[in-house]
């Protein structure tokens, strides 16, 4: 039986020098961890800016069509006539990409401020004082390199949400995210929850592979998701558009799969 406060796992990976073992320790959050947790959370969140602005573009054909219309030959001619500058005319497509980056960053920063005013500004009070929530850190080679939280969903009895998962970039692909995810599943199993859910607007294939490897299945996608902190102004709706992927793990299935592996 694993300790509820700490779990230590070894992950074997095949590297350039053969097999490598990474020892990941997942334990409850302590107040001294806050600077590392804040840094990892902010860094992970800011990675969403280029992810949304650029990688996400190919997932939204309706936006591509709109931008194509904005930079059509006719509009380019009008722009050239108005500005009498070939350089400025050629910069129109670049301006569209810059606008996507600007509004993606604006939304992410708004979401960050919202998080600081709620759970991430008072981790101990929000996660560590009740039995239906917790926040853990992953420690690798003596340093905090990852974070994840879980809390019971108020509007959905029997479900707990995996929340705030982030791993330090230099320590990815070393089993840290997997260990954090497993800790949340253990938390849910120990408390008798029926399901674990999570939502993500990430377009990174690695993030989705991690959830699927843990056993989650995508149960829906919300197109044009309104990220908390979005003002929903015309320009934000034009240049910031994301899809929200909903994942679920049924704990009965998880227990069956776990037992079959032993």
Give the pLDDT of residue 52.
Answer: 83
Q: What is the mean pLDDT of the segment spanning 167-176?
A: 94
Average pLDDT along the chain: 80
Residue 222 has pLDDT above 70, yes or no: yes
Give the pLDDT of residue 61.
Answer: 54
Q: How confident is the model at residue 11 (pLDDT cuts 50, 70, 90)?
A: very low
Lowest mean pLDDT segment, chosen from 124-133, 199-208, 238-247:
238-247
Give the pLDDT of residue 202.
Answer: 86
DSSP assigned state of 56 = G
Instruction: State what percent of residues in the chain have pLDDT above 70.
Output: 72
- Alpha helices, DSSP H, located in the chain: 34-46, 48-53, 61-70, 73-83, 86-90, 92-117, 123-127, 176-190, 205-214, 234-239, 251-260
Q: Are strands 133-140 and 243-250 parallel, antiparallel or unpaired?
A: unpaired
Beta strands across the sheet bearing 243-250? 6-15, 18-28, 133-140, 143-152, 159-167, 195-200, 243-250, 217-223
Strand partners, 139: 25, 144
Highest mean pLDDT pick, 190-204, 225-239, 243-257 = 190-204
Query: With contact defined as beta carbons under 8 Å apart, do 133 and 153 qualify?
Result: no
**Verdict on whether the full-model pTM lies above 0.75:** yes
Give the pLDDT of residue 103.
Answer: 87
Give the pLDDT of residue 53.
Answer: 80
Q: How confident is the model at residue 80 (pLDDT cuts 50, 70, 90)?
A: very low
**Quick one: which of 199, 220, 214, 200 has its CA closest to 254?**
214
Q: How confident is the model at residue 253 (pLDDT cuts 50, 70, 90)?
A: low
Better-scored residue on pLDDT, 246 or 253: 246
Give the pLDDT of residue 15.
Answer: 35
Q: How confident is the model at residue 98 (pLDDT cuts 50, 70, 90)?
A: confident
């Amino acid at each position: 039986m694993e300790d509820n406060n700490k779990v230590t796992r070894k992950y074997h990976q095949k590297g350039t020098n053969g097999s490598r073992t990474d020892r990941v320790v997942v334990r409850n959050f302590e107040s001294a961890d806050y600077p590392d947790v804040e840094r990892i959370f902010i860094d992970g969140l800011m990675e969403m800016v280029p992810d949304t602005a650029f990688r996400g573009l190919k997932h939204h054909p309706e936006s591509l069509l709109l931008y194509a219309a904005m930079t059509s030959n006719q509009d380019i001619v009008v722009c050239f006539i108005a500005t009498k500058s070939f350089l400025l005319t050629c910069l129109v497509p670049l301006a569209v990409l810059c606008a996507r980056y600007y509004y993606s960053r604006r939304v992410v920063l708004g979401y960050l401020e919202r998080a600081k005013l709620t759970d991430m500004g008072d981790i101990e009070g929000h996660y560590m004082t009740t039995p239906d929530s917790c926040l853990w850190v992953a420690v690798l080679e003596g340093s905090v390199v990852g974070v994840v939280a879980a809390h019971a969903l108020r509007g959905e009895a029997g479900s707990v949400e995996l929340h705030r998962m982030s791993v330090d970039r230099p320590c990815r692909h070393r089993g840290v995210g997997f260990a954090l995810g497993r800790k949340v599943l253990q938390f849910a199993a120990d408390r008798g929850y029926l399901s674990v859910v999570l939502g993500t607007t990430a377009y990174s294939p690695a993030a989705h592979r991690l959830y699927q490897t843990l056993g989650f299945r995508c149960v829906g996608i919300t197109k044009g998701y309104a990220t908390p902190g979005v003002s929903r102004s015309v320009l934000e709706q034009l240049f910031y558009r994301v899809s929200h992927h909903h994942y679920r793990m049924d704990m009965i299935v998880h227990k069956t799969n776990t037992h079959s592996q032993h």
